[in-house]
Amino acid sequence: MPLFFFPLLFVVPFVVLAMILFFVGSIVMRLMFFVAIAAFAGLVLFGTGLFGALVRALGSGVRRAYWAYQNRRFDSPAPRRDLDNAAFEDYRRATMTKLDSEAQEFRAFLAKLRQAADAADFKAFLNSRRAGS
């Protein structure tokens, strides 16, 4: 084998590899271009175009329910619904009033309990400081 072919043995694989990478890269770039175009078309169609009203109608209800669930409050009573049964409404109203008053009494009891526990802890702290001095 002539000596001038020896450097070509090192160069040819790199040239072939570069050609393969260029070919594969061009295919990948074309695919990425078409994916970007399809994503943009989908955004236009689903965001503001043909299906926008449907997506907004479905999405807003789900979002509204999610945020209502996340921001729910347990300390205020639920909004009342009037039913056709007056006797049940009276019973329900009386029961809800009773439960609300019991809940207020329980909160007041817990506040007194916390205050008593704090007072006992503070008294113990003062006694330990006096005994240590």
Q: How confident is the prediction for the chain on average, in pLDDT?
A: 76
The maximal CA–CA distance of the chain, rounded, in angstroms, is: 111
What b/e string do you get for 92-129 counting C-beta neighbours within 10 Å, with b at 16 or more?
eeeeeeeeeeeeeeeeeeeeeeeeeeeeeeeeeeeeee
Q: What angle do CA 68, 71, 74 make, to 5 degrees?
A: 105
pLDDT tens digits, one per residue of 39-97: 777 766 666 655 566 555 665 555 555 555 555 655 566 666 656 788 888 898 999 99
Considering only residues 8 and 121, tell me which one the structure prediction assigns the higher pLDDT. Answer: 121
Q: What is the pLDDT of residue 77?
A: 60
Residue 77: phi and psi, rounded to 5, are: -70, 155
Q: What is the pLDDT of residue 28?
A: 81
> Minimum mean pLDDT among 11-20, 57-66, 122-131: which range?
57-66
Residue 80: phi and psi, rounded to 5, are: -85, 140
Closest Cα partner for 24 from 16, 13, 12?
A: 16
Q: What is the pLDDT of residue 12?
A: 73
Q: What is the pLDDT of residue 32?
A: 85
User: How many DSSP H helices and E strands does the chain contain?
Assistant: 3, 0
